Copies of this chain bind each other. A is one copy, B any other.
């Protein structure tokens, strides 16, 4: 292995933990499940991470970064604020249609694994703030009135659509959200 910290093992732990955290939830995923699935010794985990909370933080920081990149990549191929904003919802509808869909990982994180004053909650908050800021950017200037307000409203629809899709086990709330976003954009178009 390299002279510095062993990257592959650490990365494997993060990726294995990610799968379990997203599929089964953070509190439901014990250390034992992670090391068993990663086929790694207990001490290997604790040599790479100070604690479970440290591992959770690493997993979700990486996850947030990956999602930002994925969203931007999707938007690059599209033109205009309508297409780019609505693409967010379409992507979510695809994810929600897969079985085992558990809603938004960051909302879940905030609710089930993080007190409001914790670093994990702050991470969820930041990710959501980035989503809102991204929507704001896609809306551009001059096309819509009250762009900041509109971005906030569309972000609310996005959250509500994903949560609703999980609760109702259906992509219908996400479709409602997308259509509502469209209506709001049309109403705000100058």
Point out residues on A near B: beta carbons under 8 Å: 25, 27, 103, 106-108, 110-112, 116, 121, 124-125, 128-129, 149, 152-153, 155-161, 163-164, 166-169, 172-173, 176-177, 179-180, 183-184, 186-187
Contact = CB atoms under 8 A, between A and B. Distances in A.
Nearest to A117: B169
Interface-centre pick from A111, A169, A184, A186 (highest chain B CB count, 10 A): A111
A176 B163 contact: no
Contact of A180 (B112, B156, B159, B163): B156
A124 B166 CA distance: 11
B112 A167 contact: no
Contacts of A152: 172-173, 176
A161 B164 contact: no
A180 to B, nearest CB: 4
Contacts of A116: 166, 169
B159 A163 contact: yes
Given A27-B112, A111-B112, A112-B112, A153 B177 contact: yes
A9 B79 CA distance: 64
A25 to B, nearest CB: 7
Contacts of A164: 128, 155-156, 159
A125 B183 CA distance: 26
B27 A167 contact: no
A175 to B, nearest CB: 9
A157 B111 CA distance: 19
Given A110-B167, A149-B176, A160-B161, 14 more contacts: A27-B27, A27-B112, A107-B163, A108-B111, A108-B112, A111-B112, A125-B169, A153-B176, A153-B180, A153-B183, A156-B157, A180-B184, A183-B183, A187-B187
